[in-house]
Amino acid sequence: MKEYHHGDLKNQLIEKAIFLIDTEGFEKLTIRNVASLCDVSHTAPYRHFKNKDMLIESILERIMNEFYFEMEKVYKKHEMDENLIKYLGICYVDFFVTNSQYLKILFDKRKFNFIDFSNKTILDLTSGPIIFLKKAVTKNLKIDDSDQINYKTLFFWCAVHGLASLLVQQSTKVDPKERDRLIENIIDNGII
The predicted model gives 105-112 an average pLDDT of 66
Confidence of residue 126 (pLDDT cuts 50, 70, 90): low
Q: Which residues, including other chains, have CB under 8 Å from residue 47's CB and lie 6 or more apart?
A: 4, 9
pTM given for the model = 0.82
CB 131 within 8 A of CB 160: no
Looking at the predicted structure, is the pLDDT value of residue 133 above 60? yes
Looking at the predicted structure, is the pLDDT value of residue 114 above 60? no
Q: What is the pLDDT of residue 13?
A: 96
Query: DSSP string covering 125-167, please?
Result: --SSTHHHHHHHHHHHHT---HHHHHHHHHHHHHHHHHHHHHH
Looking at the predicted structure, is the pLDDT value of residue 117 above 50? no
Q: What is the pLDDT of residue 15?
A: 96
| CATH code 1.10.357 region(s) in the chain | 62-191
- Distance, in Å, from the CA atom of 18 to the CA atom of 159, rounded to the nearest integer, reads 26
pLDDT, greater one: 147 or 115: 147
The single-letter DSSP state of residue 41 is -
Pick the CATH number of 62-191 from 1.20.120, 2.60.40, 3.30.300, 1.10.357: 1.10.357
Q: What is the pLDDT of residue 128?
A: 76
CATH domain 1-49 topology = Arc Repressor Mutant, subunit A (1.10.10)
- Distance, in Å, from the CA atom of 38 to the CA atom of 16, rounded to the nearest integer, reads 7
Q: Which residues, including other chains, have CB under 8 Å from residue 96's CB and lie 6 or more apart?
A: 102, 103, 161, 164, 165, 168
- Tens of pLDDT, residue by residue over 141-190, are 788 888 888 888 888 888 888 888 888 887 667 788 887 888 888 777 76
Q: What is the pLDDT of residue 1?
A: 44
Measured over the CA atoms of residue 10, residue 14, residue 17 and residue 23, the dihedral's sign is: negative
| CATH code 1.10.10 region(s) in the chain | 1-49
Where helices occur in the chain by DSSP H, the ranges are: 9-24, 31-37, 52-78, 84-98, 100-107, 130-141, 146-170, 176-186
- Distance, in Å, from the CA atom of 12 to the CA atom of 60, rounded to the nearest integer, reads 15
pLDDT, greater one: 173 or 19: 19
- Tens of pLDDT, residue by residue over 35-74, are 999 999 999 999 999 999 899 989 988 998 999 999 999 9
- Distance, in Å, from the CA atom of 138 to the CA atom of 141, rounded to the nearest integer, reads 6
The single-letter DSSP state of residue 86 is H
Q: What is the pLDDT of residue 46?
A: 93
